Amino acid sequence: MILITGATGKLGRQVLAQLLEKVSARDVAVAVRDPKKAEDLAAKGVDVRYADYAKPETLSAALAGVEKLLLISSSEVGQRASQHAAVIDAAKKAGVKLLVYTSILHADTSHMSLASEHLATEKAIRGSGIPHAFLRNGWYIENYTENVGSALAHGVMAGSAKDGKVAAATRADYAAAAVAVLTSKTAPKEIYELAGDDAFTMTELAAEVSRQSGRRVAYTDLPQGEYAQMLAGFGVPQTIADMLADTDVGITRGELDDRSGELHRLIGRATTPLAKVVASAVAR
């Protein structure tokens, strides 16, 4: 039995869709906080189980009989380490034979605030003694393209990344990597540093949006604090706004750039080109 946590989230949905192309729904379970959101998965024969990272008492039953577990990191920045620790403890008690965790690119050397909870989780998994694999995912292209509508409306994309390059890939690309590891007949490596094939700057991203939309969009670079304040003014929670601005500064240091090609090799194809993702976003 393979169990996916966070299965109704944006990445989880992608993983489930691709996993069900390779294995029977009878061999797949999902752990979700709101089973109603997974009714479509239950209709396909997937075993839907209630679990909440913040409620450890729900985890034992959710992990019963699970051989392989994909722990998709919690979206609750600031609470991830403790929530993940509860899942790790339950997985050990359940006798899980492989724990795959979605971490962040170069978690052990990154100075981004976002990396600290991922690194703490990696350490907890190592300490548990459970066989494991860390999928150190880079940035999602969708973090940018989901906001193309606003960029087109205002003619501006803002950030604090300067001329730093980010080797982003799509959620579908990262989902394919997770499926490859979960369904491999051989033991996985411990660490996979995963990133897109072609890195780009924010200026290059804005130029691509301009080219495909036929409307001028420029990138405006802001000081970190000013960018965080701008995001908060748009309704982004302050902790998330601060994290995003800090991540942009990490991009200036090259912390979301990687040219190893490991994602490409793991999924057996090139990662999705920026131009293709932008074209879809503009079309929407």
Which residue ranges form the domains of the chain, and what is each CATH number? 2-137 (3.40.50.720), 139-169+195-258+269-284 (3.90.25.10)
- For residue 192 the two structure tokens come to 């996979």
pLDDT digits (tens, 9 = 90+) for 133-164: 999 999 999 999 988 888 888 899 999 999 99
Answer for the pair 192, 136: CB distance below 8 angstroms, yes or no: yes
In the chain, the percentage of residues whose pLDDT exceeds 90 is 75
pLDDT above 80 (res 11):
yes
What does the mean pLDDT of the chain come to?
92
Quote the pTM value: 0.94
CA distance linking residue 24 with residue 16, whole number of Å: 11
- Find tokens 């620790």 and name the residue: 85
pLDDT above 80 (res 103):
yes
CA-CA-CA-CA dihedral for 263, 173, 107, 139, to nearest 10: 120
Give the pLDDT score at 57: 86
pLDDT digits (tens, 9 = 90+) for 216-238: 999 999 999 999 999 998 898 98
Give the pLDDT score at 77: 74
Which H or E element spans position 135? strand 132-137
DSSP 5: E
Q: pLDDT band at residue 244, thresholds of 50, 70 and 90?
A: very high
Give the pLDDT score at 159: 94
